[in-house]
Amino acid sequence: MARVFSGIQPSGELHIGNYLGAVQNWVKLQYQHDCLFCVVDLHAITQPYDPATLAQRSLDMAIGLFASGIEPARAIVFVQSHVSEHTELNWLLNTVTPLGELERQTQFKDKSQRQESVPAGLLNYPVLQAADVLLYEATLVPVGEDQLQHLELMREIARRWNARFANGFAFPEPQALLSTAKRVLGLDGQAKMSKSLGNTIGLLDPPETIWEKLKPAATDPARVTRKDPGNPDICNIFTIHHGFSPPDTLKLVAHNCRTAGWGCLDCKRVLADNMIAALAPIRERAAVLQADPRTVTDLLRAGADRARAIARRTMDRVRRRMGFLGTPEA
C-alpha cells in the first residue's frame, strides 16, 4: 500500500473547488491506500489572519472533511500544529533548500505582491509543505493543479537532503495525483475558485444560496443572447457539471448548449438541482458534527497521536543522519 498525504488550509470554508479538485479524491483514496489528511493551520498563519477565529476554522475544516466522507477508521485526520515534528523538519529542510527556488514560486510571487511587508514564513511556506509530506515518507499527494510547483520543489528538497545525508534511509520523491477537476474556476469564470477571491460555492451552503450564487455565474462569454449557441468546452458551469451530474445529463446539457435548445439559466437549474442533492448528505453529517464539537476534537487528538508516532520515527532517523548529539536517556 502506498502512503498518501495531503493538506488543506483552514481558510474558513471548504468550497467546491477544494472538494472537486482534492477532497473527493481523498475520500476514494482512503479505500486503497494508507492515508493522512491534515488541516494545515501553520500554513494558514503565513497570511494576515485573526487569532480569535483560527481554532474554530480548524475545527470547521475538520468537520467539513469528516462530513465529506473521510472516515477516521480509514484515514488519519489531524491538525498540523498538534504534531510539532512538522516544524522541526521544516527547519532542517530549510538548510538544504535553495533560496532562488523559493523566490521563483508563483504562489509566493502572487501572495507577496498583495502584502506590504512580506513575512519570511510566506517564502518558506513550500519548505513546511515538503516537511509535511516527507515526515511520513508519503509517495502520493492528491492536490489541485495550483500545487504542482510546490510538489516539484518538494522533490528537489528530498533529492538535496538525500544527496547530502542519505545513509540506509532516504526520503522517497513524492508524486502529485491530480483529479479530473484539477482547476475549478470561480463563479466569475476568470480566476481559480478561492475563498480569498469571494468567488466560491461553499460545500455547506444552503440550497437557496447555491441557486443565488449560480444564477449570475459566468458562462461561455460568446453566448450573449438566449438564441446564441454555446460551447460547453469553454464554459466553467459545464466543468462544474462534471463534478455533480451523471454522464447522460452531461450529454443532454452539451447538446442543448450547442443547439441553443436551453438557455444558460436552464442549464444552471439542472446543475443546481444535482449539486444540492449531492451536497445534502454532506450538510446533514456536518450539522451532526457541529452539534458535537467534543467528538471532533477527540477524533483529531487520536489522529495526531497516530501521526506523531510515525513522525517521531522519521525524525529519529533524520536527526541521526544529520549528525546531532543524541539526548541522554532519562
Amino acid of residue 280: A
Nearer to ligand TYM among residue 21 and residue 232 (C-beta): 21
Q: For ligand TYM, which stretch binds (CB under 6 A), given 16-24, 159-167, 201-209, 230-238?
A: 16-24
| Residue written as grid cell 513546511 | 128
Q: How far is the CB of 272 from ligand TYM (least distance, A)?
A: 19
Q: Which residue is nearest to ligand TYM (CB)?
A: 21
Per DSSP, the three-state class of 277 is helix
Q: Is there binding between residue 97 and ligand TYM (CB under 6 A)?
A: no
Q: How far is the CB of 210 from ligand TYM (least distance, A)?
A: 17
Q: Is there binding between residue 43 and ligand TYM (CB under 6 A)?
A: yes
Is the CB of residue 80 less than 8 Å from the CB of residue 41?
yes
Q: Which of 183, 283, 317, 319 is close enough to bind ligand TYM by CB under 6 A?
A: 183
The H-assigned helical ranges of the chain are: 16-18, 24-29, 41-44, 51-68, 85-94, 99-103, 106-113, 120-134, 148-165, 207-214, 236-244, 247-258, 264-290, 293-322
Burial of 10 by CB count in 10 Å (0-12 exposed, 13-18 middle, 19+ buried)? buried
Q: Is there binding between residue 8 and ligand TYM (CB under 6 A)?
A: yes
Q: Which of 146, 156, 173, 273 is close enough to bind ligand TYM by CB under 6 A?
A: 146
Nearer to ligand TYM among residue 256 and residue 314 (C-beta): 314
Nearer to ligand TYM among residue 156 and residue 266 (C-beta): 156
Q: How far is the CB of 109 from ligand TYM (least distance, A)?
A: 15
Nearer to ligand TYM among residue 123 and residue 262 (C-beta): 123
145: cell is: 493543479
Nearer to ligand TYM among residue 196 and residue 209 (C-beta): 196
Is the CB of residue 33 less than 8 Å from the CB of residue 1?
yes
Q: Is there binding between residue 58 and ligand TYM (CB under 6 A)?
A: no
Q: Which of 6, 97, 219, 314 is close enough to bind ligand TYM by CB under 6 A?
A: 6
Is the CB of residue 177 less than 8 Å from the CB of residue 141?
yes
Q: Which of 111, 159, 160, 192 is close enough to bind ligand TYM by CB under 6 A?
A: 192
Please count the residues of the chain. 330
The H or E element that residue 177 is part of is strand 175-177
Active-site positions read 111, 192, 195
Helices and strands: H and E segment counts in the chain: 14, 5
308: cell is: 506523531
Q: 175: which strand partners?
A: 140
Give, as one character, the DSSP assignment of residue 145.
Answer: G
Note the residues at the interface with ligand TYM (CB under 6 A): 5-9, 17-18, 21-22, 40, 43, 129, 132-133, 141, 143-144, 146-147, 181-184, 192-194
